[in-house]
Chain A
Amino acid sequence: MCQKESEIKQNPSHFEGTAEEHEMSKTIQANYMDYVKGMKFFDPHIHMSSRTTDDYTALVDAGVVAIIEPAFWLGQPRTGLASFKDYYSSLVGWERFRSSQFGIKHYCTIGLNSREANNEALAEEVMEILPLFLYKEGVVGVGEIGFDDQTAAEEKYYRQQLEMSKEASLPVQVHTPHRDKKKGTELSMSIALEHGIDPRMVIIDHNNEETVESVLDKGFWAAFTIYPFTKMGNERMVELVKKYGPERIMINSAADWGISDPLAVPKTAALMKIMGISDEAIKLVCYQNAIDAFAQSGQINVSDFETPQEIDQSLKFNGNTVLRGGQIPRVDKNSIFIS
């Protein structure tokens, strides 16, 4: 389906649709949230430390009840161990608190990302402190780890962290590379199997049409990142769910400091609904499969986000009574007044 009439005019496609379809696509653009009313979503990969409170508000409004924030590269390379330590602490501290202010349950995965694994001197130090964080409450996996350039150093620390995941009985969230993705994905899986890790404990992330079949065939979880330009678009995602069904497939936004969309999960759910995918399948792909995969950590208690939260009035900061009466204070973006 073509969603934007304006685009159709500029780029006449193989299928331009009827007048009714044009009308419908305009309505859908304006009201996509109507298609997912009452649905709950779980985004198993989103870097909230890089996002604003506007995004938290938007997530709540769209029905996202719980999220996982994987440890990753901050864009600016870290030069010392303390930077890593403070970052991991913020994932189980400040960011977890910030999220709770909006009634969103925040989990995280902890690991040394593939890019920075290439700074071996620092990586060695990071390996020493990782166990301090892996056993913490709400840490639902080792992640995101894996390959970037597919160097020897990346492989070394990927292997070490796989061993740590075994020791801690934690799932593994595997980042697959942008470049030479297919080879990197295969390598990541074969190394995990070599270390005797049950593929049911491994979530292979950032899949695409080229990688998904092998991942599913080998018994791993296949996660898809809906991210503009560089990763999956959600129309392609709908086609994949149609082709492979919802089993062991999950989607995420991987929203971060780049041009990305924190609402990727609910938006894709809406598109799936419009395209005739069943509610049951949507629930599996946008909610349940992620929970089933990461709850193997023993750190997810679904009642924390499935039953309406008692708002803790002690969760106030800086003079803002953020959650008073369960209402998130709204800022009227169009108002010139700030009070």
Chain B
Amino acid sequence: MNAKDNLFEIIKANASQKELNWIETKASGSLQSLQTAFVATPRFISKTPINTFETLNGVDFKTWTLDKLVRAYFLASLSDLHKEVYTKTLHTLFETAENNEAVALISSLVFLENPETWLLRATDAVRTNIGVVFDAIAFKNPYPQEYFSELAWNQLVLKCIFNDKPIQRILGLDERANKELATSISNLAHERWAAGRSIPPQAWRLVVKYLDETIFEDIKRLFDSESQNDQIAAALVCKYSEFETAKSKLEIHADLKDKTKNLTWSSLEC
């Protein structure tokens, strides 16, 4: 089955008969009717949470509502169109999107034809300051992990850290950790420290694999921090790192070593 049919199966299990009738009428209509249906969905479809354990193209629907799912289905229904018309239609939907429509579009990127061609829309969502739209690309969305360049990926993660957002909800967070990102996090910490501010302690999980003499200076500073969570972060970095100096440093801080024995990064998640 293709994405469209799979999405419809989940909709069937969650929608009322009246809602299903409306969806079917619109899905079999003209292109204009489909486009209008995408916009008008919340007028006819409830915002009830989706109840399913299924995942599709790497998307789990735990935080989805029915109106969003129906919008994803309408988008997937466009895939039969001629390529040029398809592209033009989607651009129009992106460019005229209200916030909830933008969320539906960004959350559905992996259900679109040739998802890689929509990269600029995805990175635009990282650039937005509208919280819900940014969250739609950042969290529980398989698109960035699969299609973002290292530069785009790092911008996404850094913006999350910068805005105190929960990075653990980014899919592929550990898999796509990289040296460049580790350095940027260290630089961000220095800027914040100079301003008398701090970075969220769990951001340091991303430097574990790239610990060197320079970044280790930051870890030492965390051990001396007044914040308990900074100290725990320092201990966790040393606990997971292969860097020898880090290992011996942890031995010196026996109390923290003991304290973090049963802790993981999830203990610091916000």
Contacts and interface: CB of A to CB of B under 8 A. Distances in A.
B39 A317 contact: no
Contacts of A93: 97-99, 102, 130
A318 B36 contact: no
Interface in B19-49: 35-36, 39-40, 42-43
Given A135-B39, A298-B43, A321-B164, A316 B131 contact: yes
B256 to A, nearest CB: 28
Contacts of B132: 97, 312, 314-315
B164 A129 contact: no
B165 interface: yes
Interface string B80-110: 0000000000001001111111100000000
Contact of B165 (A85, A97, A129, A314): A314
B2 interface: no
A32 B40 CA distance: 43
Given A97-B130, A314-B131, A138 B43 contact: no
Contacts of B165: 314, 316
A132 B39 CA distance: 8
B131 A97 contact: yes
B135 A133 contact: no
A96 interface: yes
A89 B96 contact: yes
Choose among B95, B100, B131, B135 the residue with the greatest number of A CB atoms under 10 Å from its CB: B131
A316 B39 contact: no
Contact of B96 (A132, A137, A138): A132
A136 interface: yes
B129 interface: yes
A317 B129 CA distance: 5
B104 to A, nearest CB: 11
A276 interface: no
B129 A318 contact: yes
Contacts of B243: none
A38 interface: no
A318 B42 CA distance: 29
A314 B174 CA distance: 22
A135 B135 contact: no
Interface string A50-94: 000000000000000000000000000000000001001100111
B98 A92 contact: yes
A135 B130 contact: no
Contacts of A131: 36
Nearest to A316: B163
A319 interface: yes
Interface in A78-133: 85, 88-89, 92-94, 96-97, 129, 131-133
B64 interface: no
Nearest to B138: A314
A298 B43 CA distance: 8
Given A92-B99, A131-B36, A133-B96, A312 B162 contact: no
A132 B92 contact: yes
Contacts of A88: 96
B70 to A, nearest CB: 13
Given A316-B163, A317-B130, A317-B163, A137 B100 contact: yes
Given A135-B40, A135-B43, A136-B39, A94 B163 contact: no
24 contacts: A89-B95, A89-B96, A89-B97, A89-B98, A93-B97, A93-B98, A96-B99, A97-B99, A97-B131, A129-B96, A132-B92, A135-B36, A136-B39, A137-B98, A298-B43, A312-B131, A315-B132, A316-B165, A317-B129, A317-B131, A317-B163, A319-B162, A319-B163, A321-B164
Given A137-B42, A319-B162, 20 more contacts: A89-B96, A92-B98, A93-B98, A97-B99, A97-B130, A131-B36, A132-B92, A133-B96, A135-B36, A136-B101, A312-B132, A314-B132, A315-B132, A316-B164, A316-B165, A317-B129, A317-B131, A317-B134, A317-B163, A321-B164
